[in-house]
Amino acid sequence: MPVAEETRRSIKGGHKSKQGIEATMNVAVRSHATAKQVSEHFDVLIVGAGISGIGSAYHVTKHLPGTSYVILETQATFGGTWSTHRYPGIRSDSDLHTFGYSFKPWVGPPIATAEEILAYMNEVIEDNDIARRIRYKHKINSASWSSDQNLWTIEAVTTDTGEARTFTANFLWMCQGYYRHSEGYTPEWKGMDRFKGRIVHPQTWPDDIDLTGKRVVVIGSGATAATLVPNIADDCAHVTMLQRSPTYFRLGRNAIEIAEELRRLQVDEAWIHEIVRRKILFEQDAFTKLCVSKPEQVKKELIGQISAVLGPDYDVETHFTPSYRPWRQRIAFVPDADLFKGIASGKASVVTDEIECFVENGIQLKSGKLLEADIIVTATGFNLAALGDIAFEIDGKPLAFGDTVTYRGMMFTGVPNMVWVFGYFRASWTLRVDLVADFVCRLLGHMKAKGKKKVEVSLRPEDHNMPILPWIDPENFNPGYMMRNMNLLPKRGDKPEWQHSQDYWTEKDEIPKTDLDDKAFVYG
C-alpha cells in the first residue's frame, strides 16, 4: 500500500487534531523518502552558495557545457557572508569593481551594502540559470574519497527535516570560505556572567535588539567595528569603540572618479568595469609594495588623513597609530570618513586599553577606568573552519589537512580531485574566485582530453628537500584569526608553486600559464 494512502486510512479511522494529522503525514512522508533514498551523482559538487560558489558555478556553466553539477548550501539562501551577517550597516570593505566578478559589471558605488551585493549575486544566478542547481538547507557532515571508484561520497543532512542525503561526485570544489558561519570568535573574559546587560556578536546579530538610548561598547577595531560604530551612533545614547591596539584605516569618497567620468561620456558599462578594475588593481599593487619599501611614508599618509578629520587636539598617537607596519594586517576602507566624523561629532568615542574584567554595569579596564555599558558588542573576529567543519577521509583514513602541502593555495598533496577557493587578504577575495575557476575548468578539460579520472598534486623529486613552512609568513601578514588556528591550515613550501603568495598581480599571469603536465600533477 502506498504510504500516503496508508496514512490517510489511519487518520480516517481515528480522531486526531490538525497538528497531529500534519505530524503523522510528515513522519510518513519522511519515512517513505528515507526508504527510497538513493545517492545522486554529479560531475562536480560545489560546497557553498556564497560569492565563491556562485562565481564558480558561472564558470562551469560557461566553460564546461554538459558538465553536471550541484551546489550544496547550509543556509536557507545564497550569499554566504552577506546573508549570515545582519548587523547594522554591513558593507564591503573592498571596492565592488574588483570584489565583483570579472564577467559581471558593477554599476553602483564602490563600497556596497550587503543588500546591494545580494541583489548583484541574484542577477548572476538568474541570468545563468544557476538557481535550479542549488540545494539549500543541506549541511555536509562528511566527505570521503575512494581511489577504487575515483569518487567522492558526500553525506549531508537537511537542516529543516533532518533527512540524510547522499551525493557522489567526480570532483569536489570547496567554496565554503574559511570561517565558521554559525558562531563568531569571542574571547573568554573574567566576569562575563556578572554583566547585567546584553552581550552580542555581530555575526549572530539578534533581530530583537533595541539600541535606543543605550550605552553601547563595541570591542574591536577592525572593519566590522568601523562599520558598526557610525551606523548605530545616532540611535545610542553613546557608542564607544574599545580596542586593545590601533588599526590602520584608509579614507576616501565612496566613488571612483574615472568611473563617474566614463559614465558621463556614456561609455559601455563592460568597458568601464574592465578599465576601473585594472586601474584599482594596479594602484593596489603599487600601494602594497610601498607599504614594504617605504612603511613610514605610508604610515604618515594614513594617519594624516585621520588627523585631518579629527583635528589637531585629538590624541591620534594613542588611538590611531599602530605599532606594526602598514598591511601586516588588513586595512579597512572607511567611506566618506563616517567613523571619524562620528567621533568628531561626539556621538562616538574610542578607548585604547585592555580589559581587566566584566562587571555588572560594564567593563573594568586595566587602567582602572570603568567603561559603563548597557550592551556590549564583541566585534572580535572569526573562528577559522578550514574545511567547513566537514569530516574528510581519503581511502578510509581521516584527512589531517594541516599535514598537507598546498599547491598555489588551491590543491593539496594527497587529496585527489579537490580544489579550495581561498581569496586574497590585500585585494578582493573574488579576484581569486575567477582565477581558480579558470584553472579548474582547464584542469577538468585536460583530464577529459587525457582520459583520466583522477588528479592530485605531489611534491616532485626536486621538492623533497624544500623547507616546509606555515600557511603564511607571520612577518608578512598576521591577523589574529589566522594566528590562533594556523595548525588547521596546510603547509607551504618556499617555491612559488607550493604556496599561496597573496600576490594577485603576479598570480593573474602565473596561474593561467600553469603547465598541467608538470610533474607536480599526478594523474590516474
502 and 401 inside one domain:
yes
84 and 156 inside one domain:
yes
150 and 235 inside one domain:
no
Length of the chain: 524
For position 263, what pLDDT does the model report? 94
Domain-located, residue 146: yes
DSSP state letters, 266-307: T--HHHHHHHHHHHHHHHHHHHHHHHHHSHHHHHHHHHHHHH
Provide the H-helix boundaries in 71-215: 81-84, 96-99, 114-127
For position 15, what pLDDT does the model report? 36
How many Cα atoms are found within 13 Å in the side-chain-facing hemisphere of 276?
30
pLDDT at 427 over 90: no
281 and 350 inside one domain:
yes
Domain-located, residue 507: yes
* pLDDT-based confidence at residue 29 (cuts at 50, 70, 90): very low
pLDDT at 482 over 90: no
245 and 350 inside one domain:
yes
Helix (H) or strand (E) holding 510: helix 504-510
Query: pLDDT tens digits for 330-378?
Result: 898 999 999 999 999 999 999 999 999 999 999 999 999 999 999 999 9
* pLDDT-based confidence at residue 13 (cuts at 50, 70, 90): very low
Q: Across all residues in the chain, what is the average pLDDT?
A: 90
Q: What is the mean pLDDT of residues 434-444?
A: 97
Residue range of the domain that includes 7: 3-35
Domain-located, residue 249: yes
Q: 220 near 381, Cβ under 8 Å?
A: yes
62 and 120 inside one domain:
yes
| Residue 452 Cα distances to 13, 209, 383, 417, angstroms | 59, 55, 38, 11
pLDDT at 33 over 60: no
Domain-located, residue 220: yes
Q: What is the CATH number of the domain that holds 299?
A: 3.50.50.60
For position 170, what pLDDT does the model report? 98
373 and 295 inside one domain:
yes
Among residues 332, 354, 378, the one where a domain terminates is 378
Question: Left (φ > 0), alpha (ψ -120 to 50) or beta: where does 177 sit?
Answer: left
Pairing of strands 249-252, 164-174: unpaired
* pLDDT-based confidence at residue 104 (cuts at 50, 70, 90): very high
Q: What is the mean pLDDT of residues 419-441?
A: 93
pLDDT at 200 over 90: yes
231 and 178 inside one domain:
no
463 and 396 inside one domain:
yes
Phi and psi of 187, rounded to 5°?
Answer: -65, 160
More confident residue, 384 or 194: 194
Burial 207-239 (b: 16+ CB within 10 A, else e): eeeebeebbbbbbbbbbbbbbbbbbbbeebebb
* pLDDT-based confidence at residue 478 (cuts at 50, 70, 90): low
Count of H-run helices and E-run strands, the chain: 15, 23
198-200 sheet: strands from edge to edge: 198-200, 375-378, 215-219, 238-243, 348-352
For position 230, what pLDDT does the model report? 96
More confident residue, 183 or 30: 183
For position 486, what pLDDT does the model report? 82
Cell digits of residue 325 = 607596519
Q: 368 near 353, Cβ under 8 Å?
A: no
> Collapsing DSSP states into helix, strand and coil, what is residue 413?
strand
pLDDT at 136 over 70: yes
For position 386, what pLDDT does the model report? 82
pLDDT at 27 over 80: no
- 365 pairs with which residues across the strands? 355
Q: What is the mean pLDDT of residues 470-492?
A: 80
168 and 204 inside one domain:
no
* pLDDT-based confidence at residue 38 (cuts at 50, 70, 90): low
For position 473, what pLDDT does the model report? 82
Residue 424 and residue 18: Cα distance in Å, rounded? 53
pLDDT at 22 over 60: no
For position 116, what pLDDT does the model report? 96
For position 37, what pLDDT does the model report? 58
- Sorted by sequence, the CB contacts under 8 Å of residue 522 that are 6+ apart come out as 455, 456, 457, 458
* pLDDT-based confidence at residue 254 (cuts at 50, 70, 90): very high
Domain-located, residue 299: yes
Q: What is the mean pLDDT of residues 140-153?
A: 97
Per the confidence metrics, is the pTM higher than 0.75?
A: yes
123 and 229 inside one domain:
no
Largest separation between any pair of C-alpha atoms in the chain? 84
Among residues 348, 378, 408, the one where a domain terminates is 378
For position 483, what pLDDT does the model report? 74
The angle formed by the CA atoms of residues 272, 273 and 277, to the nearest 5 degrees, is: 115
pLDDT at 42 over 90: yes
Q: 140 near 47, Cβ under 8 Å?
A: yes
- Sorted by sequence, the CB contacts under 8 Å of residue 329 that are 6+ apart come out as 247, 248, 477, 478, 479
Closest CA to 175 of 100, 71, 105, 95: 71
Number of domains in the chain: 3
Domain-located, residue 187: no
pLDDT at 9 over 80: no
322 and 219 inside one domain:
yes
Q: Which of 275-289, 416-430, 431-445 has the highest mean pLDDT?
A: 431-445
More confident residue, 22 or 377: 377
Q: 348 near 339, Cβ under 8 Å?
A: yes
Q: What is the mean pLDDT of residues 389-393?
A: 95
- Sorted by sequence, the CB contacts under 8 Å of residue 199 that are 6+ apart come out as 186, 192, 375, 376, 377, 378
* pLDDT-based confidence at residue 419 (cuts at 50, 70, 90): very high
